[in-house]
Every structure is written in C-alpha cells, then in structure tokens.
Structure 1
Amino acid sequence: MPARAAAATTAALLGAGALVLPGTATAATPAPQAGVQAAGQHHRPLVVAHRGASAYAPENTLAAIDKADEMGFRWVENDVQRTKDGVLVIVHDDNLKRTTNVEEVFPDRAPWKVKDFTYKEIAKLDAGSWFSPAYKGARVPTLTQYMNRVSHNHQRLVLEIKKPELYPGIERDTLRVLRKTGWLDRHHVKHKLVVQSFSADSVRTVHDLRPDVKTGFLGTPAASELPKYTEFADQINSTHTSITADYVARIHQLKGAHGKPLEIFTWTVDEAAAARRVAGFGVDGIITNKPDVVRAALRD
C-alpha cells in the first residue's frame, strides 16, 4: 500500500452511485467518552509483515515472506495484479520499473505496465537485484506460487487486490486461485485470510462472490460514513497518520459484515513510537515493513 491518504485514491476508483468518502478521521464526529475508554484497554495487535519483511528482503517476493517466517511472523501482506495473458502476479506498482530490471530486458516497452506483459515475459525479470545483490535472480511470483509458499510456511495472509479498475474481473480470478490452492476451505477462511482493496466496489464484489471471506476496506472514511461499509467489510484499514483514538473507538462500536466487531488494521508503521501510539488507540493489527521493530515496541 502506498503511504498516502487513501480517500483520494478511493474517490478515483469508485464510479457513479458509489459511496461518498470524506477525507480523513479528523472530520469524524467525536466518539463518546466510553469509546475512548474502550480504546485505552490495551491489547497487543497483530503484526503483519508488509509485502513480506520488505525492509530486509525484496518486497512481494518469496524471499520476503520467507524472511518474515524466519523472523517468526505469521501474518504477511501482498499485492495482486494481472498480466496480459491473465496470470495473477504479486507486485505493488502497476508498472515493473521500480522493482525489476524490465528496462534492461525490454528497453522498448515503456511504460512497462504489468498488464502489457505476459507472465512468460515477466518471469524473465530479476526482481531482487534492485534491493541487494544478495537477492539477484529473485522472480515476480504468481499468486499460485505465493499461496503455496505461504501455506508451506504456515503463515496467514492479508491479500490486497491492487488497482482493480485496470483488471475487470480480477476479484473472481483471485478467488479462483485461492480456491485451487486450498485457501477457501472453512479453516483458512475463518483463521488465515483477509482480502482488502482501496476500491469499495472491489471489496463489495468479493463479499458478494464469497460472503464467508473476511474483507477490509483500505481508507479512512468519516465516522458518519462507517455504517455503509459494514454491509460488506469486516475491517477499515487506515494509514496510521489519519487515525485517532476516537476514530478507532468508533470503529469498534460497529459490527462488520459478519456480525462481529468491526476491526482496524493500520499501515505502514515502521517506527517504535508510532507503533506504541496506534497500539494505544486499540488497533487490531499493524502492517509494517519492519515487523521486528514493531514487535519490540509492543513488548516494551
């Protein structure tokens, strides 16, 4: 997820008749004092390794989730997009320039959009050397390869459907791969999987296709708008700079799509002070490039 206010992105993604999303939590109606007290009842939030342990290995690669596993982290997060020939791949940007050597391998294919390359072409790219020579030869994994590795590591996943407006039908495609890799059985759905997006339409589509799957909306709607999201989302996952204790308390006063208390995972938290701050708000999860830093801060 990009470190920017999510509401502006969401507004661009939603079409006519979609939800109106105000800017930040600061516009929210203040929560009752009782809610503030609830947020102060400290619990240790889940620590989610953002794109794998991406401060220590190239993001969204198998090496990054292996590094998270090595460090003892059960939850990882990734980004899913689709190639020209319909293969789902794990990459954050909608182009391949930043995290691969695509400019060298395909110099005449600017702007190097994921959707303009077949998977056979993407499989030729080095997705590790940009990060460190130690990771030379790392590849952009398919979603199938990624899910198999997460299963092998006994990890759990927050899966982000990235820029769904570029890939009509990607929700159904994603669920198809999850089913084929064994991730839509009762155990995985109940304990190991969250599907999220900046697009409320995309989150709603996942919920409609598989109402049993836990879903999260990426953004910070005003508190007055939150009830609309509970129809199809179980989480409101906001950038950590946009939330307050009052806002977290207001989220927890509502029930999500599955009738359980609405949750909030916040991102991208890489500093100890920020981790302690949002933990004090009572967030349910912290998504971080540096899971070890957050873990240490929460133990302190």
Structure 2
Amino acid sequence: MNFWDNFKKDEQLLIAHRGLRSLRAENTMAAFKQVIGKYKIAEFDVTFTKDGIAIIIHDDTLERTSNVKEFKEFKKPYKVADYTYEQLLKLDFSSWFIKKDPFNTIKENKVSIEDLKKEKIEKIPTLKEVLLFLKQNNIFANIEIKDLENTNFHEIAAKEVLKIVDETKMQNKVIISSFNHVYLKQIHDINPSIETAALQEKEHPKDLINYLKSLNVKNYNCDFEITDEALVKKLNDEGFYVNVYTVNQKEDIEKLFKWGVKSVFTDY
C-alpha cells in the first residue's frame, strides 16, 4: 500500500513541521497534541542518545531548545549524542518557547501564556512514544532521520528506526526522509514497502529523475527556495510526489498546490 493511498487522490495536504511548532515548543508531545484535529500528518526529526535510544530533536546540540546550560554535568558543545536518555530526561524542552516566542504567537495572542504556564514541562520524547501517540490519534508521520554520518549511529540508524516502525505497526502510516540519502537505500533494502523521501536543499542533484530512481524513492521533499512549477510538473510526469518545506504564507501554499505539489510542510 502506497502511503498516499491513505488519503483522497486530489487531497491537498499540509504537514505539521516538527509538530505545530508555532503553537508549542517544537518536537515535543505538546506540539504533536496541537496537530490533532488540524492536520493529518506530523513531521519530526529523529536522532540517537549515547545509549542508543531513538529520540525526537532537530538540532544535534541541546542549547537552543532546552535549559541544558543550567546543569553542570552537561558540557559545551552540548552534543545530543554525548548523553544518555536518562541524562536528557533531566532537561526542560518547553520553557524556552515562552521566553523566545519564536513565531510571535504569544505576543499576537494566538497562544495563551497562561495556558502555557499551566502546562507541564516537556521532556524529550522517544520515537516509539511519538509513533504510538500518533497512531492512537490517527495521525500519519513523516520521520526525518538526521544525518548521523559523524556519529556511532550512522551504520544502524535506518535499521533501528525501521525496527520501531515495525514495533508500533505504523508501516503504512509513515514516510521516512533524510538529507543523507544512504539511509533511504538502506530502508529500501530492508523493507521496500516503506515509503521514502529524498530531502534536498540549496540545489537539485544532477540528472534528478535518474538520481531519484537510483534511490528507489517515490517522494522528493525539497526546499521552497528551489521549487518551481516546471520542476513539479517534470517530477509528477515521472510519477514522483513533490512535498515542499517550510511554507508559512497562505498565498505561497495555494500556488504550490496549483502547481501540483502533493503536500506542504508548515509551522502554522
């Protein structure tokens, strides 16, 4: 079963980027809870702790989205891969959202600061925890495996992520994407029925169509900055789905759907 068979053929789909990160701290359970009833698909990033637990965080360091600097046991450059899951559970991954108000949603009264202050502090979620939550709420997932080339997990990342997808019985409800296209080949080799997507920014690979065919992907997840109508048509004509990130202006989203884009990643 194709991932997109879960939806109506001409359905224009928005994907909540790192959960709805304009409403709650990105890649936290609070951000994924905001997706319920709003969007059908959530996107999030997967990497690994020092002891091999698959966790959800975008950056390879902890400084931007946690209070790591308050703890003496954590040292610069605060790399995620240097700490165990148990150590990371000591950190607060949500209070920064109130201080920084990254999308001005608190300032513009789109998010209630009183509600935020009443909510519990968010801990770092595991991949298994997030997939089970999404499954329970009938939300689909775009799992991005971070580029782990310079870590101990480069060789096993794809296999470990697939193992958790299998455990949670989410095989037909996920797309797995990565900027490291080696992982996509590995996923296809292990389980060709899992949908994969090549993530791309800055510029397109040479001989794009043949390159994507060599990866055995059905999806091209490309940056809005390098997307145009001719590209979308060319890819669609060759049977590929085009999914564009990260787009927050309504007129841009409407334009992309008019071009034939399958889905759009958004923060709102």
Q: Which residue does 1:66 correspond to in 2?
A: 33
Does the CA contact (< 8 Å) of 1:223 and 1:247 recur in 2? no
| Aligned match for 1:284, one of 255, 262, 267 | 262
TM-score (norm 2): 0.84
Structure 1 residue 113 corresponds to structure 2 residue 113: no
Does the CA contact (< 8 Å) of 1:164 and 1:202 recur in 2? no
RMSD: 1.7
Counterpart-to-counterpart distance in 2, 1:83 and 1:238: 28
Letter in 2 for 1:84: K
Flag the structure with more relative contact order, 1 or 2, with Cα contacts below 8 A and sequence separation at least 6: 1
| Aligned match for 1:145, one of 129, 133, 143 | 129
Which stretches in structure 1 are left out of the alignment for 5+ residues?
Answer: 1-42, 255-260, 291-300
Question: After the TM superposition, which residues 13-52 of structure 1 pair with which residues of structure 2 at under 5 Å, given as runs?
Answer: 43-52=10-19
Structure 1 residue 221 corresponds to structure 2 residue 204: yes
The CA deviation at 1:48 is: 0.4
Q: Which residue does 1:84 correspond to in 2?
A: 50
Does the CA contact (< 8 Å) of 1:223 and 1:250 recur in 2? no
Structure 1 residue 230 corresponds to structure 2 residue 196: no
The CA deviation at 1:222 is: 4.8
Counterpart-to-counterpart distance in 1, 2:11 and 2:248: 16
Q: Which residue does 1:171 correspond to in 2?
A: 158
Counterpart-to-counterpart distance in 1, 2:256 and 2:71: 43
SS at match of 2:164: helix
Structure 1 residue 251 corresponds to structure 2 residue 235: yes
SS at match of 1:55: coil
Which stretches in structure 2 are left out of the alignment for 5+ residues?
Answer: 1-9, 99-115
SS at match of 2:34: helix
The CA deviation at 1:107 is: 5.9
Letter in 2 for 1:233: V
Counterpart-to-counterpart distance in 2, 1:277 and 1:182: 35
Counterpart-to-counterpart distance in 2, 1:253 and 1:202: 26
Letter in 1 for 2:13: L
Counterpart-to-counterpart distance in 2, 1:236 and 1:221: 10
What is the aligned residue count? 236
Q: Which residue does 1:4 correspond to in 2?
A: none
The CA deviation at 1:223 is: 6.9
The CA deviation at 1:171 is: 0.6
Which 10-residue stretch deviates more, 168-177 or 104-113? Answer: 104-113
The CA deviation at 1:78 is: 0.5
Query: % of aligned pairs identical?
Result: 28
The CA deviation at 1:227 is: 1.7
TM-score (norm 1): 0.75
